[in-house]
Each structure stands twice: as structure tokens, then as C-alpha cells.
Chains A and B, each alone.
Chain A
Amino acid sequence: DAGVTQSPTHLIKTRGQQVTLRCSPKSGHDTVSWYQQALGQGPQFIFQYYEEEERQRGNFPDRFSGHQFPNYSSELNVNALLLGDSALYLCASSLGGLGLGYTFGSGTRLTVV
């Protein structure tokens, strides 16, 4: 039973560029949440997708956007990258939009230079 799959695992981008990160949820899960973990800090909630709609959003600017597809997979897009966007981006899947039973992926390490 595959868990949460994220791609790519590592990425280096230049300031001002755009990036797309991808997530496939655990089999049977229908909700995807994205978190940003900066170095030395805990994960911070970006947003959650359920039924192909953004259901909740954390305190992140509009440069951060997302999408959920009919097969429940999800993308996180970040425009106009800043040096401060360098972080580990974690995808977590769950069932029914609840905050319990989260399964996290291993993350995408984004470095902005």
C-alpha cells in the first residue's frame, strides 16, 4: 500500500522563478494538505484541498496556489520565488477533511538561490 508520494524530492530554483510541486495521496485518502517547514521550525499550514476545492488556508500570500485533481492528487504552485521560500514542503493526506489520520510524504526540499 503506497503512502504519500511527493515529487520532485529536491529542487533548486532562481529568485523570481515559478515552481510546481506534486503530491499523490495515500490510497483511500481524499484530502490533501500542504505544509512548509523552514529550517529549525515546525511545519506551517499552507492550505488544504478537498473535493477539488481549497477548503482552508493558512497565512501565506497569494503567490502560493494549489490545485486538486479528480484522482485526489494535488499540486502546489509558488510564483515569484523569494529566498525565504527555501524550505521543505510537506504534503499530508487524510480522509474526509479531518485533521486526524494524517499521513505525510517525505517532502520536497526547495532551495531558492
Chain B
Amino acid sequence: DQQVKQNSPSLSVQEGRISILNCDYTNSMFDYFLWYKKYPAEGPTFLISISSIKDKNEDGRFTVFLNKSAKHLSLHIVPSQPGDSAVYFCAARKTSGSRLTFGEGTQLTVNP
């Protein structure tokens, strides 16, 4: 039962353009959503998060949008930089617990 799903295994964009990474979830009990970035041979690092009571959160070049009715969230990176090339994971936390449920990840490649 894949409760958090990232349908695009990979995404390639040009430097300076916008990168949009998508994530869908099925469990209505999720109350907090997070994005992690992972480089090879490193652990995931926290990027940005959003509470279920909000629909947008910004941090510099990164913005996360949440559409609760559609059970969909997206991460926008503007402008994209080559250093952003990594695997991006969407994760969610249930109201009652602290474990994170991750999606499968999307490999982002930003071309110079």
C-alpha cells in the first residue's frame, strides 16, 4: 500500500528554469509534509515542509504547494541550479505518530 507516491522517477530541466516535482498521497490522516534532498553516498537532508493547515510555504528558491482536496503537493525550485541535481523525496507524517512515510523519489537533473 503506497500511501505516498511520486509518479515521475526522473526530471530534467535547464539551468535557470523552474523545476516542479510532484507528490500524491492517499491517507487523510497525514498532517505534515516534508521534502528531502539526497545526494549519492549521503543521507537525505531536509529541504522544506508544510503543515496541512497551509497551502503554501516558501523558503528562498523553494516553494511547496499543498492541495488537500486533491491530496497533492508539489515542490517548485526557481531558478534551478546544477547543484540542485539530486534525488528528491516527498514524505508525510500522520497526526498520531512520528514516523515518516516516503515516496519513491524523483531524480532531478539540472543541465548547465
Contacts and interface: CB of A to CB of B under 8 A. Distances in A.
A28 B43 CA distance: 19
Interface of A: 4, 33, 35, 40-45, 48, 56, 58, 90, 92, 94, 97-107
Contacts of A45: 99-101
B99 A58 contact: yes
- Judged by DSSP, the binding face of A is loop
A56 to B, nearest CB: 6
Contacts of A94: 98
Contacts of A103: 46
Chain B interface: which size bin? 20 to 34
Interface of B: 4, 6, 9, 32, 34, 36, 41-46, 49, 89, 91, 93, 97-105
A80 B67 CA distance: 44
A43 B98 contact: no
Given A41-B104, A42-B103, A42-B105, A97 B44 contact: no
A5 to B, nearest CB: 11
B102 A99 contact: no
A94 B9 CA distance: 29
A99 B103 contact: no
A56 B42 CA distance: 25
A33 B44 contact: no
